[in-house]
Amino acid sequence: MKITFLDGSMKEFNQGANALEIASGISSTLAKKSICAKINGVLWDILRPIEQDATLELITKDRPEAQEVLNHSCSHLLASAVKKLYPQACFGVGPAIEEGFYYDINPGEGIKFTEEDFVKIEKEMKHIAASDMEFKRIEVSKEEALRLFKEDKYKVEIISELPEGDIITCYEHAGFRDLCRGPHVASTKWLKFCKLLAVSGAYWRGDSKNEQLQRIYGTCFFTEEELNQHLENLKEREARDHRKLGRELELFMLSEYGPGFPFWLPKGMILRKQLEDYWYKVHTREGYQFIQTPIMLNKELWEISGHWANYRENMYTSEIDKHEFAIKPMNCPGGMLVYKHSLHSYKDFPLKVGELGLVHRHEASGALNGLFRVRNFTQDDAHIFMRPDQIVAEVGSLIQLFEEVYSVFNLSYHIELSTRPEQKYIGSIEIWDKAEAALADACRSVGREYKVNPGDGAFYGPKLDFKLRDSMNRIWQCGTIQLDMNLPERFDLTYIDENGEKQRPVMLHRALFGSIERFIGVIIEHFGGAFPTWLAPVQVKLIPVSNEHHLEYVKKLNDLLFREEIRGEIDDREEKLGYKIREAQTKKIPYQIVCGDHEVTDNLITYRKYGSSQTTTVTMAEFVAMIKQEIKTMGR
């Protein structure tokens, strides 16, 4: 058979040769680094025979796909260890996830996993890993699969839903067999550097009507150094938890009287307003107009939009004058009414309409998580109406805007193009293909690469999702650009073209932050609460050495800062100077000014930046000029 490599070269091998044998024929070093392969673009076990001519790409340890295969294999290792220790256990699913894996498990009647159990489970995992057991791929019929997994009701349920006649794949190692498409690492020897991290409840198939299983999370790396570094990162992330910092920095609070409904405290309101002011500033520059739509609207509107049929269980409702109303879970239908309020010409396009709109969604109580998952939040929405020929230019312009804004927060990102779902979608395949091509062309037009996320588009159109990477190397889904082929039709939106004819506009939904609440949660953790000066609720902490001799001077300085629109705060408590300085550091305030006899006598200030022990003495005018420049440039 002929094997074609990525560089276009071709070589003949015996039919049935596997990727490891082919790699060994090229270089023994390459073979040692290779974890799996791609055969004709499809991930493939490195020991799985290749039976016909194919293109081959070897996936080495430094590739993201290799890390994913490693973690998925380790989920099987976890399951095999649990089965050895708890023979009655049954297993749900065990996928790789960002930076690790999990497995949903029913350990048996009356057994509840705790983190104390991790010691013995990890010990068994490492014993199996050290045994260097091969992951063997087995193909069986549906009938045979049902027989093999007859003792595991979850696997039986999955197998029963597969089409008749399908070949089903299983993987076996150390006497443990699991239902799986693969691929996996060649042997358990690759799984030595693993760690179990947490356990939580998880409904079978994510449905609260089903029984709750126990989800064990873990992670695995190719080297001990990588694992240890990741565990150190996890400790740092725990210290940066936005719920913890939100309390310590007095930004927001949560109350049992309103689960999922955050309360913004005075300092949090300052932070939030700075973020909103920046949002308005850049959008005004980009030609957006702003609206505000009602929080509660009649049921009939939500029937037109499709939310009543498809999203009803997540909506809060009430009755007014014997009519049913719903609190909006999304801003879009209100935006459609604003568009229909007046006539529009092709000359108006692109028409950019923005709204910081408060929405409410009935999230499950178990899913609530600080500011990351709440029941009311402010979406930074915009709806952009245009002609079809404007899509590429407008989406390209949006990508550049996203780039600018994320760079202000020092957040890198990548783009994923989510395409047509396999089943539930509206519109013709031809229209979908054109829409997906337009989004792809827009990315290329501004030199941005993208990854295709097949089948993950919304039912009404494809989308670009912006995946942010923070200082702790975590990925966050925030921004999105969505092409909508549903609402313009449902609401009969039109414009008058150059020939005086009515036409249907193309519409984009886009959110840059995603939601104000969630984005604030992200940047709290990204900055570890040490916000850049322009964003910090308190920019300068003023501390008199002695209230009796220096407080009057400090008050004059604070008045000057106020006139210069710099946010200052005086600490005039009767506490020791060292204590007040340490607390200002704990509160992560960008600048501390300490005033004593020298400063008062010579009309100077002595400041120290957060995170530094160095002090600098300057005139007040010099300090104001410096900090105002820093605020103006947003620290860049």
Domains defined along the chain, listed by start: 2-60 (3.10.20.30), 65-239 (3.30.980.10), 282-527 (3.30.930.10), 540-632 (3.40.50.800)
- Which are the contacts of 251, defined by CB distance < 8 A and separation ≥ 6? 245, 264, 265, 267, 268, 271, 520, 524, 537
Q: Which stretch of 223-227, 365-369, 551-555, 611-615 has the lowest confidence by average pLDDT?
A: 365-369
Assess whether 595 carries a catalytic annotation.
no
Q: What is the reported pLDDT for 516?
A: 96
Q: Of 361, 510, 526, 541, which one is the catalytic site residue?
A: 361
Q: What is the 3-state secondary structure (H, E, C) of 12-46?
A: ECCCCCCHHHHHHHHCHHHHHHEEEEEECCEEEEC
Q: What is the reported pLDDT for 221?
A: 97
Average pLDDT of the segment spanning 319-345? 94
- 201 forms beta bridges with 214
Assess whether 170 carries a catalytic annotation.
no
Residue 122 pLDDT > 80, yes or no? yes
Average pLDDT of the segment spanning 181-204? 95
Q: What is the reported pLDDT for 219?
A: 97
Q: Of 307, 352, 509, 580, which one is the catalytic site residue?
A: 509
Give me the percent of the chain exceeding a pLDDT of 70. 100
Q: Of 137, 240, 383, 550, which one is the catalytic site residue?
A: 383
Residue 636 pLDDT > 80, yes or no? no
Q: What is the reported pLDDT for 368?
A: 87
Assess whether 173 carries a catalytic annotation.
no
Q: What is the reported pLDDT for 150?
A: 93
- Chain position carrying tokens 């356990």: 199
Q: Is 202 exposed, middle or buried (0-12, 13-18, 19+ CB in 10 A)?
A: buried
Supply angle C-alpha 241, 98, 101, rounded to 5. Answer: 105
pLDDT tens-digit readout, 354-365: 999 999 999 888
Average pLDDT of the segment spanning 16-20? 93
Q: What is the reported pLDDT for 166?
A: 86
pLDDT-derived band at 165 (thresholds 50, 70, 90) equals confident
pLDDT tens-digit readout, 439-474: 999 999 999 999 998 888 887 789 999 999 888 888
Give the Cα separation of 299 and 529 in Å (integer): 42
Assess whether 381 carries a catalytic annotation.
yes
- 138 forms beta bridges with 170
Give the Cα separation of 21 and 432 in Å (integer): 42
Average pLDDT of the segment spanning 250-258? 95
Q: Average model confidence (pLDDT) for the chain?
A: 93
Average pLDDT of the segment spanning 336-352? 95
pLDDT-derived band at 117 (thresholds 50, 70, 90) equals very high
- 261 forms beta bridges with none
Helices (H), 473-576: 487-490, 516-527, 547-563
Assess whether 463 carries a catalytic annotation.
yes
Q: Is 15 exposed, middle or buried (0-12, 13-18, 19+ CB in 10 A)?
A: exposed
Q: What is the reported pLDDT for 471?
A: 82
Residue 307 pLDDT > 90, yes or no? no
pLDDT tens-digit readout, 607-618: 999 988 899 999
pLDDT-derived band at 185 (thresholds 50, 70, 90) equals very high
Written as one string, the DSSP assignment of 301-356 is: HHHHHTHHHHSGGG--EEEETTEEEEE-S-SHHHHHHHHHTS--BGGGPSEEEEEE
Average pLDDT of the segment spanning 177-194? 96
CB 132, CB 155: distance < 8 Å: no
- 510 forms beta bridges with 382, 481
- Number of H-type helices and E-type strands within the chain: 20, 33
Residue 59 pLDDT > 90, yes or no? yes
- With CA atoms as reference, report the closest residue to 279 among 30, 67, 478: 478
Q: Of 67, 214, 379, 539, which one is the catalytic site residue?
A: 379
Q: Of 117, 152, 381, 484, which one is the catalytic site residue?
A: 381
CB 198, CB 217: distance < 8 Å: yes
Give the Cα separation of 78 and 366 in Å (integer): 25
Average pLDDT of the segment spanning 584-602? 94
The interaxial angle of helices 266-285 and 516-527, nearest 10 deg, is 110
Assess whether 550 carries a catalytic annotation.
no
Give the Cα separation of 263 and 277 in Å (integer): 20
Q: What is the reported pLDDT for 427?
A: 74
Q: Of 72, 155, 184, 463, which one is the catalytic site residue?
A: 463
Assess whether 312 carries a catalytic annotation.
no
Q: Of 332, 443, 478, 595, which one is the catalytic site residue?
A: 332
- With CA atoms as reference, report the closest residue to 586 among 615, 611, 607, 606: 611
pLDDT-derived band at 207 (thresholds 50, 70, 90) equals confident
Residue 164 pLDDT > 90, yes or no? no
Q: What is the reported pLDDT for 431?
A: 82
Written as one string, the DSSP assignment of 51-116 is: -S-EEEEEEETTSHHHHHHHHHHHHHHHHHHHHHH-TT-EE----EETTEEEEEEE--TT----GG
Average pLDDT of the segment spanning 279-308? 94
Q: What is the reported pLDDT for 311?
A: 85
Residue 620 pLDDT > 80, yes or no? yes
Q: What is the reported pLDDT for 460?
A: 78
- Distances from the Cα of 67 to the Cαs of 101, 241, 618, 622, in angstroms? 11, 26, 52, 52
Q: Which amino acid is at 189?
A: K
Residue 117, SS3? helix
Give the Cα separation of 164 and 169 in Å (integer): 14
Average pLDDT of the segment spanning 78-86? 97
- Chain position carrying tokens 């509107």: 301
Q: Is 263 exposed, middle or buried (0-12, 13-18, 19+ CB in 10 A)?
A: exposed
Residue 46 pLDDT > 80, yes or no? yes
Q: What is the reported pLDDT for 407?
A: 94
Residue 424 pLDDT > 80, yes or no? no
